[in-house]
Amino acid sequence: MTTVIIAEKPDAAEHIAHALAEKNLKEKKNELGVNWWEFERGGTKHIVVAAVGHLFNLKQKAKAGWTYPIFDVEWAPSFKIRKQSAFSEKYFRTLEQLAKVGSKYVIACDYDNEGSVIGYNILRFIYKVNDANRMKFSTLTKPDLIKAYNEMSPHLDWQNIEAGLARHQLDFYYGVNTSRALMLAIKKASPRFAILSAGRVQGPVLCLLAEREAEIAKFKPEPYWQLQLHLLLGKLELIADYEKDKIWKEDEAKKIFAACKGKPAIVKDIVTKKYKQAPPVPFNITSLQTEAYRLFGYSPQQTMAIAQKLYTSAYISYPRTSSEKLPPQIGYRDILLALSKNKKYEKLCKALLALPSLRPVEGKRTDPAHEAIHPTVEPPKRELTGPFAKIYDLICRRFMAHFATEAVRESMQIVLDVNGHRFSTTGRRTLEKGWMEFYGPYAKFDEIILPELKKGDRLNVKKLDMLSKETSPPPRWSQAAIIKEMEKRNLGTRATRAAILQTLYDRSYIMDKTIRVTNLGMAIAKVLKKYVPDLVDEKLTRKFEKELEQIFEGKTKKEKVFEQAKKALIKISDEFRSHEDDIGKELGKAIVATQEDKSTLGKCIKCEDGILKVLFSPWTKKSFVGCSNYNRCAKCGFTKKACKCKCPVCGGEKGKCKDEWKVKGWMPKCSTGYPLPFGATVQRLDKICDKCKTPIIQVVRKGKRPFRMCLDPKCETKAEWGKPRKKVAKKVIKKK
């Protein structure tokens, strides 16, 4: 009798094995280089083996060619249908090898739609089994894993499985059919190629971003005026604003300015208010992504990846949660005791542990499977660095803040009279830190402490300003703000929102941290809204989201949802076909404009009218930066193909001149060029190097931290590049 426990990732498998092994834990490795673990528990041999995410994905069943709509799909090994999933084959083969020894199976993948589908597909396609035991846990700590094993369900979590299978199939229907429709339209009517997609959630989100972009483009600024009074109170300078925030008529502003200029400011009233500020509620994945973006500038996708790694290292609880609740079962005191071993948190934890009882502040949101994000009883054994240290510290400090008292703050408004006109200034200060002390550097609030004043005091006016301003357009969405808006509108899920946003970046529909919709993104949104409005209808997307929730709750069947989706997609496909030429032409123009925009880095410093662009060399198979005049004749200004100039040496006869350009009787107008890092993408920053005056770019390599550089490889800013780093000698402190 052998029990095979299937984990979702290798890190999780190792934690499970070490937690459950009573004796004789053995680490095995096959010829493919994949580890698994063997041990005994309760007199039974156990094997813990890992998948590596989804080992199966959906594909078109019938070989009907590249057409749409298609609904005949099947599950197949990921490595057979996706090049980027080739690495998963060795895990697939390892699970196959262990099929011969297993007599009982336990699914220990993440307890959610995705994890349940991963485990179920392995069971039915590799092990030919339809049911198994199910472990449920929110952390990878030893106590939680032992409890999950001892209390595991005798059956699979069919609600998660049914909802997960339905979501995968529904998203595949939408993704494959709409993407094919777009790309076939492009192929038919455009000279340029681009990989396009428009999914069930992707379309509405793109339209939401495009609407904001259109608002900004249409915005017409309106002039207004503001009056500001500069006061001197000893060495402190304060600014008091006129009671009207915006004065829309210049004559009115001038009239008030003339009446107040040179007049004293007399304190008319002082309004002081004390108020309490409650601690922040526990993190779910959306609020963690929002806070990480606000504090560190991390993208939602980056925060998700960091949190997932901290989870699989057993340092925090499961991050893909909607909950803002912290049940007592997680062991508040045990977690605080564990954190107190870290010198950074020792004093703070001791203060909380001294309290007669521990009651965390909680939010309203819940999750049926997992609690809110929190640190575990197993803190890092080694000191974390970089983004992992920052996110872990943020989660720990947030957790401690939940148990602390409210902060007490005070606001003070001073109302001033200047020749019958009211000005005011407001100060704020913290009287009792409360939870702010525990949240530390992340509790950022304005501290403007005003001096003690009383009614009738006459203040020294330094100057009076009349500021001329214009109204601003609505701000662009930040990455964190759009994730929050998606949650508010019920677009996507907590696990998919960051990936959907990343897809929009990958398709060149959007760019920049503060999201700017590209020409292509605007065109996609426009044609979808114009020709296939159902595809970008938020109501339809929300309707399917609700039905997917109903599948989880057992209130409806996935087959019923599929039939509704097929009807909607057949209608969408018909609309695509009837406007295929128009869609292709409109998108073709946008593809050209977007590709040109992305490849343009700035002006050439060596010629007057040249533009530096990212180009591709068919000879070296590498990208480089070259001047747009590189392809223009120095004599006539025409492109290389159109130039008819002859070489003054040989008259353009082949074989007489060794120089390739002279053979064709042609010389480039500008030969400026710069190399680019291999295997990386570059992003324009619209900044110029102070030293060499070439554009500065951001270089992005997969799995590595982005960095910035100027284009000139000989620039003095790169003087130290390539040189070995100096080793810093560590000081040895001897104890007396």
Nearest by Cα to 240 from 258, 264, 224:
264
Return the DSSP state at 631.
G
Pairwise CA distance, residues 345 & 403, whole Å? 14
* 53: CB partners within 8 A, 6+ apart: 8, 9, 88, 118
Burial class (CB in 10 A: 0-12, 13-18, 19+), 375: buried
**Cα dihedral 245, 251, 252, 253 sign:** positive
Place of tokens 């790694």: 309
Residue 551 Cα to chain centre, angstroms: 28
Choosing from 105, 293, 315, 318, which is the catalytic residue?
A: 318
The helix-helix angle for 300-312 and 497-506 (nearest 10°) equals: 130
Residue 615 Cα to chain centre, angstroms: 29
- Cβ atoms of 268 and 415 within 8 Å: the answer is yes
- Cβ atoms of 319 and 371 within 8 Å: the answer is no
Pairwise CA distance, residues 644 & 678, whole Å? 36
Length of the chain: 736
* 16: CB partners within 8 A, 6+ apart: 5, 7, 48, 108, 140, 145
| Buried b or exposed e, range 715-726, using 16+ CB within 10 angstroms | beeeeeeeeeee
Pairwise CA distance, residues 424 & 450, whole Å? 12
- Retrieve residue 41's tokens: 């528990």
Is position 318 annotated as part of the catalytic site? yes
* Cβ neighbours of 620 (radius 10 Å): 9
List the catalytic residues. Answer: 318
